[in-house]
Structure formats: C-alpha cells, structure tokens
Chain A
Amino acid sequence: MTRPDHRRRPLAAALAAAVLLLAAATACSKKDVDDDEEAAGPAVEAGGEVEGCGEGSWTDPEDLEPDREPARCEPGAPAPDPLPEETDVVITSGTLAAEFVAPIQVAIDRGEFEAENLNVTLRQVPPSDSLQLLGQGEVDAVWSAPEAGFVNGVDSGFDLRWVAGNYSTPPESRSGLWVHGEQGEEPDLSELEGRTLASIVGRGSVALYPVEQALDEVGLSLSDLDFRTLPAGDIVTAFENGQVDAVWLLDPLWTQLEDDPDAVWVAGQPPGEPLGGLIYGPNLLRDRPEVGEAFMRAYVRTINTYFAGDYKSDPEFVQYLAELIELDPALLESTPSLTMDWEIRAGSTDRFQEVFIENDAVRIDEPLPEDELVDRSFYEAVVGHTG
C-alpha cells in the first residue's frame, strides 16, 4: 500500500491559495472600474438676490485681467441664514499658523459659523492625507489647493470639487521665485538649465505653475532643472550657501532674502488668480449641500467684513490676527495684505494640470474637464448670482 505523501500537503495548500488569489484578482478587476462615479453638475442653485451683495459681488471667471477688482459684498453680507439645527463640520488645513488660513480662523473666532448654526472644527492634517479623508467622508472640507493629489483623487473616483478660492498676492509681494544675481539687474533665467531649484512644496504643488510660466518665457521647463524639496527651516540657508540656485518661497520666508544683495526676485503668483482655497467632498457636495452653502456664506461674509481691503493697515487687527494664528506680529506686518478672493478663475485647473502632466505628477494624458474639478455654485448661490 502506498502511503499518502504528507510532505506535499502544505505546499499544495500554498499553491491552491496562490491560484485562488490570481482567480480572485481576475474576477474582481472589473468591479473596481464599475465603481467610478459619473461627474455631477453644480451642487446648489442660487435663490435670487441677496441683500448687500450687488453687482460687484460676482466677476466673470473669464476675466483674467491682473487688475481685476475681486468680488465683494457689503460688510456683514450675505446675512446669516442659520440651519434649523446645529450641524458639525470638520475642515482640515495643512497648517494653522499661516496668514492664508486667517479667514477660517477669524470666522470661527468671531462667530460667523455659529451664526449659521454650524459647529466648525479646524484640524491640522497634511494635505495628502486630508484629501483621502475628504473623499471617504471622514472630513467635510479641506482648506488647501487643487494640487496634483486632488486631480489624482478625482481621477481615481473620489467626489471632490474646488468650490472657492482663497487669495492672490498683491503686486508688491515678493513671494515666489528667487535666484542668485545682483539687485536691480534682470537675471537670465535661461542660465538655470541643469541647475537646482528648491521648494518646500513638491512636484505636485500648484506653486510650480507660476514657476513653469516664468521658465516658459526663456524656453525652459521644470524638467530642465534639478528640482528638490527641502524643509522650510533649511531652504533659505541652502540658497544663501549656494547649495541651490533658485528657490520658490512663500510668505513669510521670502522676507529673509529681501535685503540680500545676492538674491533677486523673478516671478510670483499670477495677479488676480487664486491658486487654492476650499475643497468640498461628498458630505457637503451631495449629502448635505445646504450645510456646504451655509459654510460658504459664513466664509464669504468673513472676507467682506474683515478682509475686504488692506486689513493690515489696522494695527489692532494685525495684533488680533497674530495672536489668533500664532504668528509674530512683526512677521505678519512684514508682508503686504493678501488679496482675499473667494472666486475661481476660468481655466485655472487646465493650466495647473498641464504643469502636473509635464512634471509627471498625475497619471492622465489630458487635463480633466473643469466641471469635474470645480463647482462655483456655492459661492454664486450665497451672493445671489443667477447668471
């Protein structure tokens, strides 16, 4: 009688498991594709005129003029329209100690969200994590930018929309691209070919869009440079020591180079074009759009009330802001007021995506259509724009 070969049983089990694995992989691959969601249209509709928000409360998205006046209502407008019951909203930001987060912080501190019956919690979460949490409905909104991660998220099936802008930098700001050179002389950017460019943000950041624009003027692109990401604490030192040849610096880092005779500012954020802002996920886009509208109303009202103009001309407000966002008042005063702007320009996402595609930061060959990435209906509804 032949005894069964027990030695082969474990191997056979392992092989059977491997076969099952492959079979399951084949059978299940279609299911993933079927789960892609169809692009949805605008989430909300305007209900009519809104008191305090007249003609200047909306500008044509096609207007890309650098001197365009940002949309504004009267201070205190649009008036609160509280939800029937208190509603919790969780919003995240990559950083809390930054001036561009001030409108959200002020809206919380001055009770603008409370007036809408919203209980808003602002949490610090890295943008890459927050977008995934947003897509899964774990958080309701993200204060960030439509970066490559956002485009890849939408492309992979997450229901995300950029619903409001944040700010553009004023002409006197020197936030942007700095290179070595003598003050007052026009640097030759074509000399940057093969040199090192450093930024605190990665290849998937919208900040690279203006860099690409500046390089494009001399026939270069980012792929012609050695791009590096460096920590905020090291980037200025690396530039001053000559370890990098160019840097992209945001507020307030650039102020460290302002008096450096060997540093020249070359280009900044395009005037009048916000590169970031508010991103909603499925909770506020589809499940509770009225909550998304209430949040937007509070945000727009906060800009009209506290950030409509040169808000840093009031020393008391600067002091208040500095304490609220935990920044040194002197540092806050060293940069000009941002031009807060809740609107989104037409074609911004196309231009961002072209840079992402060029820099291999997204896995698409053509830009996704704007209506799959942008929804202006929330801010248009709260200012009563029906056009």
Chain B
Amino acid sequence: MIENVPGREERDPAGTARRRTIVEVSLAVAVPVALFLWWQLASSWHYLDPRTHPAPSTIFSTAWDLVADGDLWSDTFVTMRRVVLGWVIGGASGIALGLLMGANRLLRKALEPTLDALYVVPKLALLPVLLTIFGLGEGPKVALVAITVFFFVWISTMTAVMSVAEGYRETGQAFGATRRQMFRHVLVPAALPAMLVGLRVAAGVAVLVIVAAEYIVGTDGLGYLIFNAHALGLNAEMYVGIVVVALFGVLFAELIRQVGRRLVPWAPEDRAAGRT
C-alpha cells in the first residue's frame, strides 16, 4: 500500500510561500551587503587602494555632499528624463511596428532585412549622425535611447506575434473573430508577456547607452558625472555615479516588471509567483 503523506508545502501553502519570500528577500539584501562589507574592509586594509577604489563609507559621504550641493539630484533627474522619454518613444514605435510586422507577412518581408542590418550597427556609432541632425541639445541623446529601445522591443514583439500558437488563432477563427478582433483579443494578449520582457531588457540597455552618450557629448547627467569625475581623478564621485546608475537601472527595470505583472497577470513568471 502506498501512503501519500502531504508535505509541509501542501499542508501550509501560504506559510511556505511566506517563508520562501523571506528567504529570497533576505538573500537579495544579504549579497550586496556582504559585497559592500568586503569592499569596505578590503579598502580600509589596503587590499584595494582607497585612493583609486574608495571605501563605501567614503562614497556614501561623498554622495551626501553631492546631494547637499544639489548636483546629484540634477544629474540623476536629467538622465532619468532622457531614459524615460527615449524608452517611451522607442518602446511605442517598437511595439507598433513589431505588431504590424508580426501579423503581416508582406510587411515583414519588406522591412526585416533593412531593420536587421540596422540592428547590428553599434548604436553609439550613430551618435555623430544624430548630432548633425538634432544639434547639441537633448535631441541626439533621447533619439539614441529611443533607437536602442526600439530594436529590442520590435524584435521581441514581432517574434512573439509570430509565435502565437496556432491553436489560439484557430479558436479565434472558430468564434468568427474579425481581423481586428483577432488582433485585439488573441494576438496582442498572447504576445504581451514577451513584449514586456523586451521592454524590461531595453530599459537596462537604455541606461547603458545614455551613460555612454552623456560621456561623449555631455555637460550633465550621470554619465557625465561618472566620466568627468574619472577624468578629474575624483574617484569617490565616480563611484557615486556608478552606484546611482546601478540603483536607477534596477529600480526602473523593477518598476516595469511590477507594472507588467499587473497588466499581464497571465505571464508565465507571474503565474509561477502566484503558485508559491
């Protein structure tokens, strides 16, 4: 006789989920804390040269000074504005073209080779071109972010639409869905999870690109802060910029993930999270 004894997960699913969340959050906090602790000690005991790699305590006090001066706020705000604006423009156009190309074979055949060729061009190489088109203002930087985001979102959206299971399409047809209804009720909902992944990945890459662009032609922003501080030998300020960029990238991507969770509760990751 086989006796099936329910495990703790089955006896107390809510408690198990809570415990797992606590462990996961603790790990997510403990790893960076341990890293900072190691960095602090290594710098203080001169395993790392504190002049070139200042201790976290020095970086924190430098950040405090920059915040008090107002410099850090303004640079962070400028970078955020460029990233968000570029991400919205690039994301919207990427979704629109991705949906159209995913659903329309002829359009796909017409545009895909050209877009594929442009996709492999390093986006930073376009900066001089954008400078001559938009001048020295915000235009080239926002455009660079938008172009970068566009390609990530376009590819993920188009692929997602093309990969919608045949069964979904057949079901839609069986219910007599029009072309518009098929698009609205079948293709877009099925592609949304992959589109959101594309938007989230693009958010991280947008931060990378804006930092590089602000370095090349910047007078402000976190990229300018990092590279200007590096050029001036102000290593603590450089690390402040790096830490803020990292935090901004994490928070921006997390914000998109949370919004996505609410918009697309049927996404695989969120279904998995819901089970725990």
Contacts and interface: CB of A to CB of B under 8 A. Distances in A.
B81 to A, nearest CB: 19
B271 interface: no
A11 B26 contact: yes
B233 A21 contact: no
B136 A228 contact: yes
B93 interface: no
Nearest to B24: A10
A14 B44 contact: no
A202 B226 CA distance: 13
A362 interface: yes
B55 A202 contact: no
Nearest to B44: A28
A221 B131 CA distance: 27
Interface string B16-49: 0011001101110110011011001101111001
B195 to A, nearest CB: 35
B234 A243 contact: no
A10 B55 contact: no
Given A29-B57, A228-B136, A243-B135, A10 B26 contact: yes
A148 interface: yes
A203 B230 CA distance: 12
B219 interface: yes
User: Which bucket holds chain B's interface residue count?
Assistant: 35 or more
Given A11-B22, A156-B233, A135 B217 contact: no
Contacts of A131: 233
Interface stretch (A230-238, A252-260, A378-386): A230-238
A244 B27 contact: no
A158 B49 CA distance: 11
Nearest to B33: A17
A276 interface: no
Nearest to B132: A237
B233 A150 contact: yes
Contacts of A17: 30, 33-34, 37
Contacts of B174: none
Interface in A126-181: 127-128, 131-132, 135-136, 148-150, 152-153, 156-158
B232 A25 contact: no
Residue of A6, A29, A157 contacting most chain B CB atoms (<10 Å)? A29
B262 to A, nearest CB: 27
Contacts of B58: 29, 32
A3 interface: no
A127 B233 CA distance: 10
Contact of A136 (B36, B52, B55, B228): B52
B136 A149 contact: no
A20 interface: yes
Nearest to B34: A17
Interface string A244-273: 100000000000000000000000000000
A227 interface: yes
B216 interface: yes
A24 B43 CA distance: 11
A361 interface: yes
B51 interface: yes
Interface string A183-217: 00000000000001000001110000000000000
A370 interface: no
A29 B236 CA distance: 14
A288 interface: no
Contacts of B23: 10
A14 B29 contact: yes
Nearest to B31: A14
A152 B219 contact: no
A152 B218 CA distance: 22
A11 B18 CA distance: 13
Contact of B22 (A7, A35, A157, A243): A7
B232 A149 contact: yes
A202 B49 contact: no
B129 to A, nearest CB: 11
B132 A203 contact: no
B13 to A, nearest CB: 15
A362 to B, nearest CB: 7
Contacts of B52: 132, 135-136
Interface string A10-44: 11011001101100111111011001000000000
B268 interface: no
B50 interface: yes
A21 B27 contact: no
Given A21-B36, A21-B56, A196-B136, A10 B217 contact: no
Contact of B234 (A150, A152, A229, A233): A152
Given A128-B231, A202-B228, A31 B44 contact: yes
B128 interface: yes
B137 to A, nearest CB: 9
Ordered nearest first, which 3 A-B pairs have the shortest CB separation?
A10-B26, A28-B44, A25-B57
11 contacts: A7-B18, A21-B40, A24-B37, A25-B40, A27-B44, A31-B44, A32-B58, A128-B231, A204-B228, A204-B232, A244-B136
Interface of A: 6-8, 10-11, 13-14, 17-18, 20-21, 24-29, 31-32, 35, 127-128, 131-132, 135-136, 148-150, 152-153, 156-158, 196, 202-204, 226-231, 233-234, 237-238, 243-244, 361-363
